[in-house]
Amino acid sequence: MNLEIITPDKTIYKGEADVVQLPGIDGSFEILNNHAPLISALAKGKIKVGKGKSEDFYDINGGVIEVLDNKVLILAE
C-alpha cells in the first residue's frame, strides 16, 4: 500500500509500506494492505512503518489518518 506521512512543515515519509502501526486515541492499531476506508484521530506516540524486513519509527504529537483505495495518508503534528 501507498503511505504518506505529512506534517505542516514537511513530508516525512512517502512510498510503499506493508504495515503501519499507529497510536489511536483509544489505543494502538495496525493497518495492513487493502484496509477498508477509515478516518481516525491519533494520539501522541510512535508510528511504526514496516516494509519488507525493515522497520522505521516516527514520533508524532497527535494527528489524523485517512485510508482510501489502499492509500494511507497521515496528517501528523
Partner 1 sequence: MANLKEVRIRIASVQSTMQITSAMKMVAAAKLRKAQNAVTTMRPYAAKLQEIMQDLSSSLEDSNENVLTTARPSEKILLVVITSNRGLCGAFNMNVVKEAIKQVEGEFSPQLKKGHVDFYCVGKKGADILSAKGYSIKEVESAVFDNLNFENVSLLANNLMGQFSNGDYDKIVLFYNQFKNAAVQILQSEQFLPVVEPAPDETTKKEQRHVDYIFEPGKREIVTELIPKSLKIQFYKALLDSFAAEHGARMTAMHQATDNATELLKDLKLTYNKARQAAITNEILEIVSGAEALKG
Q: What is the C-alpha to C-alpha distance for residues 69 and 48, in angstroms, rounded to an integer?
A: 21
Residue 52: CB minimum distance to partner 1, A: 27
- Count of CA atoms in the C-beta half-sphere (13 A) of 29: 14
Q: Which residues bind partner 1 (CB under 8 A)?
A: 6-11, 24-26, 29, 36-41, 62-64, 66, 68, 73, 75, 77
Cβ within 8 Å of residue 37, ≥6 positions away: 67, 68, 69
The minimum distance between CB 48 and partner 1, in angstroms, equals 18
In whole angstroms, the minimum distance from the beta carbon of 25 to partner 1 comes to: 6
